[in-house]
Amino acid sequence: MTTSAPAARGERDGRADGAAPARPAVLTMQQAINRALAEALAEDPRTLVFGEDVGRLGGVFRVTDGLQRRFGEDRVFDTPLAESGIVGLAVGLAMNGWRPVPELQFDGFAYPAVDQIVNQVARMHYRTRGAAPMPVTLRVPSFGGIRAPEHHGESLEALFAHVPGLKVCAPSSPAEAHQLLLQSVRADDPVVYLEPKARYWERGPVPDDGPAPPVGTSRVVRPGRHATLVAWGAMVHRCLQVARLAAEDGVELEVVDLRWLKPIDADGLAASVARTRRAVVVHEAPLTAGLGAEVAALVQERAFRSLAAPVQRVTGFDVPYPAGPLEPKYLPTVDRVLLAVQRVLEF
């Protein structure tokens, strides 16, 4: 449900960051999320933003910078350190008519909140036979690639995608970040919104708020005819790197940004594979029971006769995200993806 009052739109255009309405503003991803949060707060007075250090500090990645000053301490506020409590607070607020957008400061700090996320947020609508919807958007700075300390780089998508009642998305660019966040906060279901920390400072054009493809729609970010690379978050960029290198060899790879990890765009995947006949799915998370398995299953269910080779997975290993110098070895490298492409091409 969207309540987009004209007054709210006027306020949106009056932003202090100088975004010209005529031409898309060029923003970093964290600025794009900041802008989406500001728009969500402006357009619906029921929207609340809270979490650890999101108020006065503006978040450790400055994603909520300036929001407390602009919208007041009732609507943008710091909480004590209590991740389970933060998500539990969101449940109660939602039951009282608010639309909470809590932040869990880092992915590793989502684990202490798993009880409230899984046992409470995810199934309140079901438990109450729809009487208590949970329009909660849980923002989680996620994934690796920044040499962060332990518990500051984790891939949660398979864990949460597995939970009935949760939707999950992960943007790959500033524009996607803006659009997916607005979609998430406008949805009446709980969405876990995973922000790729490694891409926070990437700049890109961010069009004004406007019509968006439905929840659960993927996007072809680079068309190609020899194989499809499927990814989300920061791995979309790894796949684009690979596609550029493959082009040097005359191999045209299609890159699909899944965007939504639940629901997954099975039709979009099938359509791409129908064109390319081969698929490689790339993610940072460990291999076993990762979403690559879900993608592979959907592709073979929907496009079995199109396939010229088994779907390949290039992923993190079945190990915890390692520290500093080992992290680049853990994350899918260009060569590991190229090897998988070679396997599907030469099958």
Interface with another protein by CB under 8 A: which residues? 28, 30, 52-53, 55-58, 60, 62, 78, 80-85, 108-109, 111-112, 145-152, 197-198, 200-202, 226, 241, 244-246, 249-252, 278, 287-288, 308, 317-320, 322-326, 328-331, 333-336, 338-339, 341-342, 345-346
User: For the CA atoms of the chain, what is the radius of gyration?
Assistant: 20
DSSP code per residue over 188-252: SS-EEEEEEGGGTT-EEEEPPS---PPTT--EEEE--SSEEEEE-TTHHHHHHHHHHHHHHTT--
- Closer to another protein at the Cβ: 24 or 112? 112
Minimum distance, C-beta of residue 295 to another protein, in the bound complex (Å): 19
CB 158 within 8 A of CB 195: no
Nearby residues of 109 by Cβ (< 8 Å), 6 or more positions away: 52, 83, 151
- Closer to another protein at the Cβ: 301 or 335? 335
- Closer to another protein at the Cβ: 52 or 254? 52
- Closer to another protein at the Cβ: 128 or 244? 244
The whole-angstrom separation of Cα 155 and Cα 122 is 19
Minimum distance, C-beta of residue 333 to another protein, in the bound complex (Å): 6
- What is the maximum span of the chain, computed from C-alpha positions, in angstroms? 60
Minimum distance, C-beta of residue 127 to another protein, in the bound complex (Å): 22
| Active-site residue, 178 included | no
Q: Which of 152, 178, 226, 283 is catalytic?
A: 152
CB 219 within 8 A of CB 240: no
Minimum distance, C-beta of residue 197 to another protein, in the bound complex (Å): 5
Catalytic positions, written as ranges: 152
